[in-house]
């Protein structure tokens, strides 16, 4: 098994390490929780562990559905071994119900059902506050080819199908989510993470928010909500 060596990159919630295998990295999920492009950061006990196990569980489900992911092996409570991807700096967002920036941008009511779901692209750039971009920007600026972008969109919509059903069976609405992709030896592969830090999940019956909006909106009970989601899905967490 690949061994952790030097730090490659420290993100807002995860630290990425090189390993003894040039094709593999280790992601360390920290307890740091950030909002508003990193302007607000807090430590939330257990969050690194919960998100690491949550992400591993979801990525396994996606692999089983035929979606290529970077995940290789769960290493510890807060570390996972992954393929080293050449990351594409574009965020793919799907929305099944209106919330967050869509509500602000278009003035629609939170919770409005979106049929078919929307697909949006944002540039991953905190200094510019992750501006919304379109297909032509991605290709013209060389962030991905038209073919790679088409594959990212196809995979993102497939992830939505798989996970909407999974969460629905657990009594949850998958309101929206963000994915990031990278290239592994020329193939588009799902990278980064899938956790309640990067999606919106509401209880189906009460519409109670069980995701990072609890942190953004100061609602409290953030990690407790993540743990409730994990427990409902059957994610093994001590
Ligand atoms: O803020 P907005 O409504 O555009 O976010 C859409 C979805 O993407 C939400 O689930 C949010 O948590 C996620 N997101 C993210 N990282 C970002 C921007 C959005 O995980 N930088």
- What is the fold, at CATH topology level, of the domain defined by 88-221? D-amino Acid Aminotransferase; Chain A, domain 1 (3.30.470)
Q: In this predicted structure, what is the pLDDT of residue 165?
A: 98
Give yes or no for residue 76 having a pLDDT over 90. Answer: yes
pLDDT band (50, 70, 90) for residue 48: very high
Q: In this predicted structure, what is the pLDDT of residue 226?
A: 98
Q: Is 198 a pocket residue for ligand 1 (Cβ < 6 Å)?
A: yes
Q: Is 100 a pocket residue for ligand 1 (Cβ < 6 Å)?
A: yes
Alpha-carbon span 135 to 153, nearest angstrom = 10
Each residue of 197-219: pLDDT tens digit?
A: 999 999 999 999 999 999 999 99
Residue 55 near residue 75, CB atoms below 8 Å? no
pLDDT band (50, 70, 90) for residue 1: confident
Q: Determine the distance separating the centroid of ligand 1 and the alpha carbon of 9, expressed in angstroms.
A: 21
Q: Determine the distance separating the centroid of ligand 1 and the alpha carbon of 104, expressed in angstroms.
A: 13
Q: In this predicted structure, what is the pLDDT of residue 192?
A: 98
Alpha-carbon span 7 to 106, nearest angstrom = 41
Q: In this predicted structure, what is the pLDDT of residue 13?
A: 97
pTM beyond cutoff 0.95: yes
List the alpha helices (DSSP H) in 107-195. Answer: 135-140, 146-169
Token pair 């995860």 in the structure block, residue? 14
Q: Which two tokens stand for residue 24?
A: 């593999």
Average of per-residue pLDDT values in the chain? 98
Each residue of 178-200: pLDDT tens digit?
A: 999 999 999 999 999 999 999 99
Q: Is 101 a pocket residue for ligand 1 (Cβ < 6 Å)?
A: yes
Which of 13, 51, 92, 93, when mutated, tests ligand 1's pocket best, judged by the most ligand atoms within 8 Å of its CB? Answer: 93
% of the chain surpassing 70 pLDDT:
100
Average pLDDT over residues 172-182: 99
Average pLDDT over residues 116-130: 97
Q: Is 194 a pocket residue for ligand 1 (Cβ < 6 Å)?
A: no
pLDDT band (50, 70, 90) for residue 221: very high
- Per the document, the length of the chain is 238
Token pair 């990067």 in the structure block, residue? 198
Q: Determine the distance separating the centroid of ligand 1 and the alpha carbon of 178, expressed in angstroms.
A: 6
The three-class DSSP label of residue 20 is coil
- Per domain, the residue ranges of the chain are 4-83, 88-221
- What is the fold, at CATH topology level, of the domain defined by 4-83? Phosphorylase Kinase; domain 1 (3.30.200)
Residue 110 near residue 99, CB atoms below 8 Å? yes
Give yes or no for residue 238 having a pLDDT over 90. Answer: no
Q: Is 214 a pocket residue for ligand 1 (Cβ < 6 Å)?
A: no
Radius of gyration of the chain (CA): 17
The three-class DSSP label of residue 16 is strand
Q: In this predicted structure, what is the pLDDT of residue 126?
A: 93
Q: Which atom of ligand 1 is found nearest the CA of 120?
A: 4
Average pLDDT over residues 220-228: 98
């Amino acid at each position: 098994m690949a061994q952790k060596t030097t730090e490659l990159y420290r993100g807002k919630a995860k630290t990425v390490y090189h390993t003894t295998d040039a094709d593999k990295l280790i992601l360390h999920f920290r307890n740091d929780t950030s909002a508003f492009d990193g302007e607000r950061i807090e430590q939330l006990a257990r969050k690194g562990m919960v998100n690491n196990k949550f992400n591993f569980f979801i990525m396994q489900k996606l692999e089983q559905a035929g979606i290529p992911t970077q995940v290789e092996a769960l290493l510890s409570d807060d570390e996972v071994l992954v393929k080293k991807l050449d990351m594409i700096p574009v965020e793919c967002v799907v929305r099944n119900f209106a919330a967050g920036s869509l509500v602000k941008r278009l003035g629609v009511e939170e919770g409005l059902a979106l049929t078919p779901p929307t697909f949006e692209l944002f540039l991953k750039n905190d200094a510019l506050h992750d501006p919304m971009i379109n297909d032509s920007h991605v290709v013209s600026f060389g962030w991905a080819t038209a073919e790679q972008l088409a594959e990212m969109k196809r995979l993102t919509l497939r992830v939505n199908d798989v996970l909407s059903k999974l969460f629905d069976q657990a009594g949850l609405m998958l309101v929206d989510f963000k994915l990031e992709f990278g290239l592994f030896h020329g193939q588009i592969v799902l990278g980064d993470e899938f956790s309640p830090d990067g999606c919106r999940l509401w209880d189906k019956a009460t519409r109670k928010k069980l995701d990072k909006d609890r942190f953004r909106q100061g609602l409290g009970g953030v990690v407790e909500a993540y743990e409730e989601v994990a427990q409902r899905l059957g994610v093994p967490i001590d």
